[in-house]
Structure 1
Amino acid sequence: MQGAKPAPSKDSGGSAPLLESGLATLAGRKPDNEDAAIFHWPDDPHLREYLGAVAAVADGVSSAEAGAHASKTATRQFVSDYFNVPDTWPVARAGEKALTSINSKLYRLSHAFTQQEKGYLCTFSALVIKSRTAHYFHVGDSRIYHMRGAELRQASRDHTVILGRQRQMLVRALGMDTALQVDYGRIDLAPGDRLLLTSDGVHDFLPEETLRGILSAPDASAQHMANALVQQALLAGSDDNLSAVVLEIIALPATTLDEYSRQLTRLPFPPPLEPGMRLDGFLVERELYASPRSQLYLVRDTASGEQLVMKTPSANYADDLHYIDRFVQEEWVGLRIQHPRVARVLRQQRPRTALYYLMEYIQGETLAQWMQHNRFPKPTRAFRLLQEIAAGLQAFHDQETVHQDLRPANILIDRDDHARIVDFGSVYIAGSAEIFRPLQHSSALGTASYSDPHTLLGRNTGIRGDLYALATIAYELFTGQLPYGEEINDCRARGDYERLRYRDARQFNPVIPLWFDRALARGCAIDLEQRYHTLDDFMADLANPNPRYLRDDPSDLHHQHASLFWKLLCALWGVTLLALLALFSSP
């Protein structure tokens, strides 16, 4: 996306800068382009004002076979994550959160393909232009330059070491290690400034005099400058991929947003809300839920008439900075995860006078209530709901986040009989600099029944903790019971959990086949060595009999019932297949 170039003015007349952009990226003499370059300046005036514009260049590490995938993932996800941050966050924190998540994803992908020697590594340089400041984030040997007048300065530093005979080695890259070191800095802007991001295929082959000459052309557009830089590097003998992004600052707002940001991060907690009260254009209709930690209200947007859910923090924690930080993070997590099986968090379009966030209103009942009204549901219906919960949970994992508090009370069944995961209060972000803290739910009765015992004892088990919760919910869906009974709520130490014994699901529901029961047992195994490692493996073993679990005694009293269960599931999969074939064959 390119910004239009209005008549130059020192004052933009608003709170957002005016700028022009140019972007060029080529494979050059290489068969494939492993560079990725991006520029995004949202059309929404609110986002332009409070989040600004983003430009980024990433260069896939040539020795890593998945470098092209890494660079595209890094640039696209950085833009997506950044523009989904709450406006309560400063740029530095938003960028750090996004990059730690990206780094964790690339590192995980690299280690998932160790046998194929496939590495997801790339350098990364980004600029966020907000108000009167350029914020930069940098890892590797791509570069960021700042030009004012005739002076050209390299703002970033190359993360390389010299090995001799003009050989250099990259010492930092996204996806290289679990711990990410990012250079962050700020550049105070002035009208007429020009900013440049390049991959090494450009700056390694052009001296600074050439860069300065191209960037100082008085009547050249930003796009013309980006094209000229790439073409000049090719003429100079560049044998690498080439990328250049040029930004020209046309005008700047008269005042900065720093004061606004400081006020926003110190927003007061709203008072207890009553029906009929108004807050920032939202009319309170009724309270939906209240706990010692938060409140949920059904509100109506007086401008659009839309019903929404407003979540507010509890006044009990008004002086708890960690609690406030976690509450704000909930909004960020919800804005990042866009999936039909996860409740949507909505971006606030009006300035806030108090601390809260908004979610879509889903009419229905919790899974806990649904199970009370639907004891021993049809296997096909129960399995479909379980698939939907798993799909929503996978959406969290795809964003390198772990829900950590999956339980029937945090799953809604809407009026169309579909499952939706709600509540982001306990989410853990993989790769984040935050210290892991075990779950504490003193006011949530029954939570210990679904939370991984290792998590409750202070060990972060990642997605396998969510898998334990999903398996426990699956067991309860099909049996109406818990796999370890009510005794699990009394466990306090590791030895207490080790004394627990899994209760065969078939004793509570005779239609459950042996292989299905054994998959459930492995999903909620307390011993991590026995538990599944991925949701896909767990769901696959529930959907298709694992040969290892089919060694059954022919005299088993459950044999005939298991056959019926299997036939019902096969009927479901057959109907689903026919529906998909009809969908893809339709014009």
Structure 2
Amino acid sequence: EKFEDDTTFLRGFLREEWVGKSLDSPHIMKVLPRRENTQFYYHVCEYIEGQSLRQWIIDNPSPSLDSVRRIVKQIIVALRTFQRNDMVHRDIKPENVMITTHGEVKLIDFGTVLVKSLLETGEQTHEDYPVGSVNYIAPEFLIQNHSDFRTDMFSLGVIVYEMLSGALPYKPFKYKDYIPESANEFHYQSIKQYRSDLPAWIDICLKKATQPEQQKRFNALSEFEAALDNPKDIVATEKRPPLIERNPVLLWQWVSAVLLVIVLLQTWLLSR
């Protein structure tokens, strides 16, 4: 298929090349310079010998926390590089993470990277979410087409959940192209139902990283990383939610019971 008349595609293609050349991190795939004065547009990328994180998940159905941490820490290094350069990857999923034969992690595919400086100057426009990645996309990008580093954090949290359990923290919507109306349609599923051997603090950590409301997530990627290492810290910072959030049915049962007692008491007093 030819895209010579598709200016939006060409701008995105050139932006992807520029991103790969601009970012310097051992955990981000490099895009190498191509021959000058060529009449064709193409990418020359570094060769990565290894497997995708998707294949790693298939090969490791019940991995240890340590093995997951080693991979996640490297992904966070890559994402912090994007953040320092005012960029958001926006398509973090197992297929876009490569693991070399030496265990080094590299983030690939920059086709949907948001470059804030280009957005401000009008050289980049808001684009639709990546097709086929809905299960990993944060609600604010999916619903409002808004994204920042916490958008990538959400996707990473989903990946960590899937690495540990083989499942997703939120049930996929019935239709592939369905766009929810609000973040209220996202209902977190405890990872303990898939891996009862995992400590409870892991569930707390992943629930916070994948909060549908972005302001409720960790304030920094480094905080997410620290929480995966230090269970005492994440448990201490998490306040016990009110009863109406933990068990609304039980709350209303208590309220109804109290009201019933009041009504019966008033009836008894009036009958005297």
Write the mapping of 1:530-569 to structure 2, written as runs, cut at 5 A: 530-547=216-233, 549=235
- Partners of 2:27 and 2:159 in 1: how far apart? 16
- Partners of 2:44 and 2:174 in 1: how far apart? 35
1:441 aligns with 2:151: no
Q: 1:334 to 1:448 in 2, by over 3 A?
A: same
Q: 1:548 to 1:421 in 2, by over 3 A?
A: closer
Give the drift of 1:331: 0.7
Give the drift of 1:436: 4.2
Q: 1:420 to 1:488 in 2, by over 3 A?
A: farther
Write the mapping of 1:80-229 to structure 2, written as runs, cut at 5 A: none
The residue type paired with residue 168 of structure 2 is L
Give the drift of 1:458: 3.1
1:412 aligns with 2:89: no
TM normalised by structure 1 equals 0.38
Contact 1:400/1:429 (CA < 8 Å) preserved in 2? yes
Residues 273-323 of structure 1 show CA distances to partners (whole Å, capped at 9, x for unaligned) of xxxxxxxxxxxxxxxxxxxxxxxxxxxxxxxxxxxxxxxxx52x3311111
SS at match of 1:328: helix
Match of 2:147 in 1: 461
Q: Which runs of 5+ in 2 are unaligned?
A: 239-272
The residue type paired with residue 100 of structure 2 is D
Give the drift of 1:547: 4.1
More helix by share: 2
Q: 1:547 to 1:342 in 2, by over 3 A?
A: closer
Q: 1:453 to 1:489 in 2, by over 3 A?
A: farther
Give the one of 189, 208, 221 matched to 1:522: 208
Write the mapping of 1:245-256 to structure 2, written as runs, cut at 5 A: none
SS at match of 1:354: coil
Give the drift of 1:415: 1.1
Could you tell me the percent identity over the aligned residues?
A: 26
Contact 1:514/1:549 (CA < 8 Å) preserved in 2? no
- Partners of 1:393 and 1:540 in 2: how far apart? 15
The residue type paired with residue 493 of structure 1 is P
The residue type paired with residue 441 of structure 1 is P
- Partners of 1:483 and 1:335 in 2: how far apart? 34
Residues 115-142 of structure 1 show CA distances to partners (whole Å, capped at 9, x for unaligned) of xxxxxxxxxxxxxxxxxxxxxxxxxxxx
Match of 2:267 in 1: none
Match of 2:82 in 1: 396
Match of 1:334 in 2: 20
Contact 2:88/2:147 (CA < 8 Å) preserved in 1? no
- Partners of 1:488 and 1:406 in 2: how far apart? 22
- Partners of 1:520 and 1:488 in 2: how far apart? 24
Give the drift of 1:524: 0.6
Bigger Rg, structure 1 or 2: 1
Give the drift of 1:527: 1.3
Give the one of 490, 500, 511 matched to 2:186: 500
Give the drift of 1:351: 3.4
Give the one of 96, 107, 110 matched to 1:424: 110
Contact 1:483/1:502 (CA < 8 Å) preserved in 2? yes
- Partners of 1:387 and 1:351 in 2: how far apart? 40
Match of 1:385 in 2: 71
- Partners of 1:527 and 1:322 in 2: how far apart? 31
Q: 1:503 to 1:453 in 2, by over 3 A?
A: same
Give the one of 136, 155, 175 matched to 1:450: 136
SS at match of 2:99: strand
Contact 1:428/1:436 (CA < 8 Å) preserved in 2? no
Give the drift of 1:489: 6.1
Contact 1:402/1:466 (CA < 8 Å) preserved in 2? yes
The residue type paired with residue 321 of structure 1 is T
Residues 360-412 of structure 1 show CA distances to partners (whole Å, capped at 9, x for unaligned) of 11111211121111111122111101111111111111211110111111111
SS at match of 1:396: helix
The residue type paired with residue 367 of structure 1 is L
More strand by share: 1
The residue type paired with residue 192 of structure 2 is R
Match of 1:321 in 2: 7
Contact 1:345/1:359 (CA < 8 Å) preserved in 2? yes
Contact 2:227/2:233 (CA < 8 Å) preserved in 1? no
Match of 2:270 in 1: none
- Partners of 2:147 and 2:39 in 1: how far apart? 38
Match of 2:29 in 1: 343
Larger relative contact order (C-alpha < 8 A, sep ≥ 6)?
A: 2
Give the drift of 1:448: 0.3
1:480 aligns with 2:166: yes
Q: 1:320 to 1:524 in 2, by over 3 A?
A: same
- Partners of 2:232 and 2:142 in 1: how far apart? 31
Residues 213-247 of structure 1 show CA distances to partners (whole Å, capped at 9, x for unaligned) of xxxxxxxxxxxxxxxxxxxxxxxxxxxxxxxxxxx
- Partners of 2:37 and 2:57 in 1: how far apart? 41
SS at match of 2:20: helix
- Partners of 1:489 and 1:498 in 2: how far apart? 17
